Structure 1
Amino acid sequence: MKLETYKKFVFASLLILGLTYSCTDLEIEETDSLISEGTGDTGFTGVTNPSSALNDLYNKVGGDFATQENMYSLSEVTSDELLVPTRGTDWGDNGVWRQLHTHTWTPDHAFVKGAWNNLNQNIFRASEIIETTSAETSTVAQAKFLRAFNMFFVMDLFGSVPFRGVDEGPEINPTVLTRPEAYSFIETDLTEAIAALPSVGPGVANVGTASQEAAKFLLAKLYLNGHVYKGTGTPDNADMQNVIDLVDEINASGFDIQEGYFQIFEPTDDTETILFLRSDLGARIWNSLHYNQNSPDNTGGGWNGFSTLAEFYDLFEGDPNTNYVGDGQEERRGFVPDAATANEQNLGIGYGFLIDLQYNEDGTPLTNRQNQPLVFQKEFPSLVGNGEAEGVRVIKYHPYDPTDEEDGVNSYRQHQIIFRYADAHLMKAEAMMRMGGNPTTMVNELRSLREDTPDLASVDEQTLLDERARELFIEFWRRNDLVRFGQFSAPWGLKEVSGDDNVNLFPIPATALLSNPNLVQNPGY
């Protein structure tokens, strides 16, 4: 499904929050820090209803992370994990997807601009809630978490962070925090938020908003990447110990790794989900599936876009060329229901990585639009000139929702996991490794809960990076991991550009530079 078709999707009213197509329009916009109507000669007077504003901000953040553009594309499509090949004229979209894969984006790339605008607007809206004197302490704490959450991603993706005080009008150019300054700002916000947020245990009812545990997770992520953000180049032992201590505190609240990998991504109770976003999952489900693929309780079909590289698929244990039930694949690589098992599964579509001949829910082989067998092929001839079936497909959130069986309606639950304990568990293992310890036991502890996933004899940096790939695919962290491990600029399939570490930061959008002369473009752009 092309972008113009995607806009017509039934969930467009939500997804439109993240879309920005005018990538060549350099008109100055109030985007890098929203200016409130209440800011002016009389000064900031506060938001009228802080709790309602907070709820709106949660919805806004969930919408920003729901789309296939902006945050998702910058986090995943720029990595070796996902690519969006042009299939005939489908998914051409003026080259925006190909530029992400080949690291040839520019300051006027639509998704770079969209992510920048959304994140910075959220920072300002959180500040408005924080500076409202009538806001309750718990509301302020949640707003500080959301400000830190959005600022974390601005700092991570772009380095510099513009910041406008709520009393500053449009005549004042926002100040710009350097990356180390933003790091300290985020650390302070999270530390202050933890003191006033509730401590919660696992369960859907507890983890849809900020908690002490969610703030500790983000703080641990901050410390784990501290040598990147502070520019020291070498992990600091104190930061690594902070990671270990914070993960232990989260674990003490009842969060832990659990078995049943794909069940974790259903909207039911589990011990792993630390925070989920109110994100419609349509773009996570349909953008990878073929037009003729569907689930028993839905009409329509997939959008036939997102795929993975053969080399990423090969990181998983199992037969390199098939992924049918019983082929010996590890649990996290998922499965394709075949003629013998499709009806038994009552799914039609499998989980994880879909390759080779596909079947519907009654075991009938599927066909493509030319009425030929629908066989997903592992290799791509190039980023352009592809047919309908090139590429292994990736699906983690299934369109068949067992919680909707009573009414027969699939709600595309507002439940996208963004913080998960398995990630925290691997962060602790990494922190131990960077302090000179041996992470093998911890990594194998996780692998022992994933079926058909044998223990590793030893774990080094590359092995740990690969394990994070296997466990956390399409959860927004692949680019972040590759940067931290020094591999984001490395070559991979169909990526012609490599070795330029300037791509570790995205460019500041051209419109932002025009609107705020305090901003300085990142090197290499």
Structure 2
Amino acid sequence: MKKELFKSSLLILVSMLLVISCTDLEIEETDSSIADSETEFTGIDDPAPFVNNLFSGDLKGIIENQQDFYALNEVTTDELLVPTRGTDWGDNGIWRKLHEHTWDAQHPYILNNWNNLNQLVFRATQITDPRTTEATPEQVAFAKFIRAYAMFWVMDMYGQVPFRNPGEGVDVDPMVMSRAEAFDFILEDLNDALPNLPTRGPSSENLRPTKAAANFLLAKLFLNKHIYLDSDTPAATDMTRVVELVDAITTDGYALQSGYFEIFTPDVDTETIFFTISSVGNRMWNGLHYNQSAPGNDGGGWNGWSTLAEFYELFEGDPNTNVPGSGQEERRGFVPLSASPLPAGMDPDEFDENNDGLLDGSHIGYGFLIGQQYSVNGAELTDRGNKPLAFEKQFPALAGNTERTGIRTIKYHPTYGAFTGHQILFRYADAHLMKAEAIFRGGTGSGDALTLVNELRNIRNAQALIALTEQDLIDERGRELYKEIWRRNDLIRFGKFADAWTLKINTDDFRKLFPIPTSALLTNPNLSQNPGY
């Protein structure tokens, strides 16, 4: 396992530059209505590097960025928020607007995400175009999968999908698919790709799609079909299809794995169906305090992202502390009281870079960090004002916070590298819960929903449920999948995205869709603004 370590100062600079976005109405070359080239498209001579860049370049960048795609799917929910601390994380209110549900069509992250996803669709389309005659069936399958993935999110987040064939010039306005049309297009892409995708179980090679990855995305498609087609209730046949797709993933060798936080390491596990080489640094350091550091990032965290008290309280255990022995279930994690000795068998060159006999980063907790935090030697950490670094549950507001307000969350851990490139996109526990939900909603198949949920809870050291409700299902998905990009999608499917939660101002139901960016409307008259904006 090789760590990818970067200087924290460089990453902070890059993060600061990414925050600066243009909100005027000038047409940029990255807008979805602009082709990559004004020359006639005659195909791609050597598809291999283009296919590789779809995953190791375009997708990698979309996923590892803490803004845009990730922020829109997480900071708009009850799971994560980015409070302003003095002047830190103010950024002209762009983070606060996401949590408050007060964004508009000129929010820079909404524009950036629109451009990035649509650009990924277009680049994948270039590989699938018949004029790219040298592409192998597997390369075309990879491209159709990634096009389906990007288009899934455009459909999910914006409700309409622009589409341009590579041979069309910039004078041609891209056609626009409705949600129903995009659903059919995505379904066709995945069904076309499936026969030529490799059949592979758990593997270090799963940074490229497999049949299991395609079946996972198909399951997401059918689980949300009634939302996308504006139906009140899901069809039993669609829910049965979800069950069948998850069973196919199981047949390929995927299974639940014990040791929850060990799943989020670069090692092969039985749960990871599809991952990227995206750095996990943002997921790790954007919530940790400046004085919480580890080898590979001696500069410490960035002291921003936090969670709400009510989300933390979904988990079993003492609501006011999370030190070992607090009665917590495994997924809530713990706050260690000091660093741990390097376990026998672990390579000190890999896991004890400073040769102190301690496991690197093991003084930093897992899961939900609340209350006093500790140094490597067990001393109580302090903030920059020399006050005890004890993370508090409550916020005075979205602005005016101290360095200590807000419970912090961490899933990927600096023990395995401060900026390791390994981020999970599709995980078997998610598929397992999709199957339980599908059966709960009328699908047929082996097992029953309550048994499936309790199977997961048992392996996570949580108490078994005696009955199962819709609220139990959405809560269980929150406990298992926090920070894995699915919270907004889940809340919408369960009819809870418009619910009130702490520091949220608006409960407008129309915000289930983001607005079409203003610049996109100006450059493509086939687009229309979503209702409410």
TM-score per shorter chain, which class? Answer: over 0.9
Question: Equivalent residue for 2:388?
Answer: 373
1:424-435 equivalence runs, <5 A: 424-435=431-442
1:76 touches 1:474 (CA, 8 Å); kept in 2? yes
Pairwise mapping of residues 313-462 of structure 1 onto structure 2 (< 5 A)?
Answer: 313-339=312-338, 347-401=362-416, 410=417, 412-435=419-442, 438-451=448-461, 453-462=462-471
Following superposition, the deviation at residue 10 of structure 1 comes to 2.4
Aligned length: 505
Aligned CA distance change for structure 1 residues 263 and 301 (closer, same or farther; 3 Å):
same
Q: In structure 1, how many angstroms separate the alpha carbons of the residues matched to 2:374 and 2:246? A: 42
Q: Which residue is 1:196 aligned to?
A: 196
Hey, what does 2:531 align to over in structure 1? 523
Cα separation, partners in 2 of 1:196 and 1:33, compared to 1, 3 Å: farther
Measured in 2, the distance between the counterparts of 1:319 and 1:338 equals 17
Kindly state the Cα deviation for residue 233 of structure 1 after the two structures are TM-superposed: 2.3
**Residues 33 and 173 of structure 2 are in contact (CA less than 8 Å); yes or no, is this contact kept in structure 1?**
no
Match of residue 134 from structure 1: 134
- Tell me, which stretches of 5 or more residues in structure 2 are unaligned? 1-6, 343-357
1:146 aligns with 2:146: yes
CA drift at 1:19:
3.8
Shift of the 240–363 alpha-carbon distance from structure 1 to 2, 3 Å rule, reads same
Say whether the 8 Å CA contact 1:325–1:335 is kept in structure 2.
yes
Query: TM-score with structure 1 length normalisation?
Result: 0.93
* Counterparts of 1:114 and 1:270, CA distance in 2: 33
- Aligned pairs (5 A) from 1:157-306: 157-204=157-204, 206-296=205-295, 298-306=297-305
The one-letter code matched in structure 1 to 2:514 is F
1:147 deviates by 0.3
In 2, the alpha carbon distance for the partners of 1:210 and 1:272 equals 14
Tell me by how many angstroms 1:22 deviates: 3.3
Change (3 A) 1:106 1:423: same
Give the Å deviation of 1:368. Answer: 0.3
Superposition deviation, residue 12 in structure 1? 7.0
Instruction: Trace 1:462-473 onto structure 2 (pairs within 5 A).
Output: 462-473=471-482
- Structure 1 residues 345 and 353: CA distance shift in structure 2, 3 A: farther
Structure 1: distance between partners of 2:438 and 2:252: 20
8 A contact 1:106–1:507 mirrored in 2:
yes
Determine helix, strand or coil for the equivalent of 2:124. Answer: helix
Q: Does 1:512 align with 2:520?
A: yes
Aligned-partner Cα distance in 1 for 2:338–2:297: 21
Q: Counterpart of 1:262 in structure 2: which amino acid?
A: F
C-alpha distance in structure 2 between counterparts of 1:156 and 1:361, whole Å? 44
Q: Deviations over 1:3-61 (max 9, x none)?
A: xxxx9842479879x94733421012341145132x54xx4211232110011111211
| Structure 1 partner of 2:501 | 492
Conserved? CA contact 1:335–1:354, under 8 Å = yes
SS at match of 2:299: coil
Bigger CA drift: 419-428 or 47-56?
47-56
**What's the Cα RMSD here?**
2.0
Q: Equivalent residue for 1:10?
A: 10
Q: Select 1:70's aligned residue among 68, 77, 88.
A: 68
Offset, 1:135: 0.8
Amino acid at match of 1:167: G
Distance 1:266 1:22 in 2: 33
- Contact 1:342/1:348 (CA < 8 Å) preserved in 2? no
Structure 2 counterpart of 1:174, which letter? Answer: P
The superposition leaves residues 204-223 of structure 1 with CA deviations (integer Å, 9 ceiling, x where unpaired) of 2x311111110110010000
Partner of 1:404: none
User: Equivalents in 1 of 2:186, 2:200: separation in Å?
Assistant: 22
Structure 2 CA distance for aligned equivalents of residues 211 and 505 of structure 1: 30
Cα distance, 1:362–1:20 mapped onto 2, change above 3 Å:
closer
Q: What do the CA deviations read for 1:325-360 (whole angstroms, capped 9, x no partner)?
A: 111111000000015969976611010000000001
Q: Distance in 2 between matches of 1:269 and 1:323?
A: 28
- The 3-state SS of whatever aligns with 1:394 is strand
Q: Decide which of 492, 501, 506 is 1:483's aligned counterpart.
A: 492
* Cross-structure match for 2:116: 118
The residue matched to 2:79 in structure 1 has which SS? coil
Partner of residue 52 from structure 1, selected from 46, 49, 53: 49
Secondary structure class of the residue paired with 1:480: helix
Q: Deviations along 1:105-162, whole A, 9 cap, x unmatched? A: 0000010011000000000000001111211111000000000000000000000000
What does the per-residue CA deviation read over 1:420-448, in whole Å, with 9 as the maximum and x for residues that have no partner?
Answer: 00000000000000007751100000111
**Local SS of the residue matching 2:103:** coil
Aligned: 1:503 with 2:501: no
Partner of 1:405: none
Change (3 A) 1:56 1:12: farther
CA contact 1:79–1:478 (8 Å) conserved in 2: yes
CA distance in 2, matches of 1:315, 1:155: 30
Structure 2 Cα separation of the partners of residues 472 and 55 of structure 1: 28
Q: Distance in 2 between matches of 1:20 and 1:27?
A: 18
TM, length-normalised to structure 2: 0.91
- The aligned counterpart of 2:20 is 21
Deviation at 1:62, TM superposition (A): 1.1
On the 8 A contact 1:85/1:91 being kept in 2, the answer is: yes
Distance 2:316 2:261 in 1: 17
Amino acid at match of 1:140: V
The residue type equivalent to 1:412 in the other structure is F
Which stretch has the larger CA shift, 320-329 or 56-65? 56-65
